[in-house]
Structure formats: C-alpha cells, structure tokens
Amino acid sequence: MNNNQKQEVKVLNCDPSAIGLFGLAMVTLVASSQKLGLTDGTSFVVPWAIFLGGFAQLFACINDSKRQNVFGTTAFGGYAFFWFGVATSWMIKSGVFGEGMAAGVDPRQLGVAFLGYLIFSVFMTFGAAETHKVLFIIFIFIDLLFLGLTLSSFGIMEHATHTLAAYSELAIAIFSFYGSAAAVLNPHFGRVFLPVGKPLGIFKKAA
C-alpha cells in the first residue's frame, strides 16, 4: 500500500493595497507640507520617505506579487524605490555622506529621474483606469506631480511648476487616505462603505 500522498497547500494573502496606499498618503502629506511652505527643510521628511513611502509600499509590492497582481507589484514596488532614492538624494545634499558628495549635487540629474518616473506613471495610469476611479484619480495627480517636479528641477517656470507639484502631492495624500480607508473598511464591513468607482472599462479586454 502506497502511503505517499501529494498535498497542495494554498496560502491566501489579504489585499495589501490598504497599507500601501496609507504609506503613500503619509509620505506625500508630509512632503507636500514642505513644498507648500508650511514646514521647513527635509530632515524630518526623510524618515517618512524611508519607512512609509519606501518600506510600507515595498511590503505591499511583495504581497501583491504573492497574489500574482502584476500591476500592484509594479506600482507599489516602483514608488517604494522612488522614495528610497529621493530620501537618499536628500541625505546626500545635506552632507550625510560627506562634503564631497554634497558638493557634486546636480539638481538636473534628479530632474532626469523625475522625467523617468513621469513616463512610468503615465503608462501606469492606463492600468489604474481599469482598477477603480479613486486609483485613477491618484495616478492623474501623480502624473501632475512628476510633471511639476521635472520642469521645476530644470528651472522651467520654476515657481508655477513647483506650486503644481506641491498641490498635486497634497491631492495624492487626500485621495490615498480615502483609497486606503476604502480598502480596509469595505471588506471589513462586507459591503461598499466607501465607494471607489468602477473601472473605466475602455482599455481592458472584455471577458
């Protein structure tokens, strides 16, 4: 008698978008306060960039990967590493890694990075359109944020584009808080407590 039996164990992961969106909301709220002139400097923005913008979204990325969600994995992972990069850039500029590196800072290189993320965000916006409307709105404001950051980094209409980036970042925070709350409360209550809107339905292939 053969007692060898093959067993398959399926591990179910909950949707990590709530913690990912919360991380995005927190870091953009704190960062926008500096851009809007409500606070000064970036020293106390760095921890939120690393732990909320970086690690919280990286956690969401890894767990979305386990759920085979390519869009969520790429979005949360891409922006997690963005915040790690930005936090490191701020630390370089402030001299954490030595005067030599601080002296070699060229803001235009950061502008090139912002341009790359603008390209990334634009094509991810199409994916967000087929997720739900709140996420789509968040990505629209992310596009505007990177547009403002890119142009201001190159000194193009610097005041206007900096202002565009500041208010876009604040809007990202507001809608991300809402999206995070919806991702927590809707499944918790077993009903639509906070509506997020249906996908646009114009890009995805019909089932």
- What does 161-186 look like in DSSP terms, one character per residue? HHHHHHHHHHHHHHHHHHHHHHHHHH
Q: Which residue has the tokens 């979305």?
A: 64
What is the arithmetic mean of pLDDT over 197-206? 86
Per-residue pLDDT tens over the stretch 72-119? 999 999 999 999 999 999 999 999 999 999 999 999 999 999 999 999
Residue in 78, 53, 90, 64 with CA at minimum distance from that of residue 176:
53
Q: Of 150, 172, 165, 130, whose CA–CA distance to 24 is shortest?
A: 172
Q: How far apart are CA 145 and CA 101, in angstroms?
A: 27
pLDDT bracket for residue 1 (50, 70, 90): very low
| 16: amino acid identity, one letter | P
Show the domains of the chain with their CATH numbers.
Answer: 17-189 (1.25.40)
pLDDT band, residue 5 (cuts 50/70/90): low
- Could you tell me the pTM of the whole model? 0.92
Question: For 153-191, how does the pLDDT look when each residue is reduced to its tens digit (9 = 90+)?
Answer: 999 999 999 999 999 999 999 999 999 999 999 999 999
**Amino acid 13: pLDDT:** 82
- The pLDDT confidence band at residue 150, using thresholds 50, 70 and 90, is very high
